Amino acid sequence: MRLIFCLLVLLASAAAAQNLNESARTLQPWVGDLDGMLDRRAVRVLVPYSRTGFFIDGGRQRGLFYEVMTGFEDQLNEQHADGLIRINVVFVPTTRERLIPALQEGLGDIIAADLTVTPERSEQVQFTTPLGRNVRELLVRHADAREPESLEDLAGEAVFIAAYSSYAEHLSAVNQRLQANGLDAIDVRESPDHFQTE
């Protein structure tokens, strides 16, 4: 009985060591295409932590990006599974400003986030077909704040935006137009990190 128990312990230890080696390999910087991800049996997904996109609830991963990427994982396994060895999607929570740099540094393979396609970003990364088109940016204000009727009403006012968002680019263009018309620029301020678009 002891011999069987020791053998089982050794087998379990070998499996745990292999899992540990695979986990360590997944965390190493790596850049490659889908074939390389399939060989590695892992797709690392960089996701911003947010209330709707990706979050932890009772120890479980949840959110829109979680659902979309686990669906992608299922599709990959239907097409490329090798017997019992599955391809795993590994979620890597990443701050919004680090999403593109982390991808370029090989710390992830895919970004799952609500990033607006801009010319500047398109020079850095390749986007999929957008899930949404003609998305309008909305100004959210406090209930007691004066309701602006146009962008000109925001001249000289403070507007908080998420750092590293496309809003900064858009407001920069608005500020150029306002100043060309002799108006004060919008006072663009960076919102706290925990503020998200939703």
Residues of the chain with pLDDT under 50: 6-8, 11-16, 19-20
What percent of the chain shows pLDDT beyond 70?
A: 82
CA distance 117 to 100: 12
Q: Return the exposure string of 106-127: e unless at least 16 CB atoms fall within 10 Å of the residue's CB, then b.
A: ebbbbbbbbbbeeeeeeeeeee
CA distance 198 to 52: 7
Q: What pLDDT is recorded for position 20?
A: 47
CA distance 172 to 83: 53
What is the Cα 3 distance to its own chain's centre?
Answer: 49
Q: What pLDDT is recorded for position 171?
A: 87
CA distance 197 to 194: 10
Q: What pLDDT is recorded for position 16?
A: 47
pTM comes to: 0.70
Q: What pLDDT is recorded for position 76?
A: 94
Q: What pLDDT is recorded for position 117?
A: 84
Q: What pLDDT is recorded for position 92?
A: 96
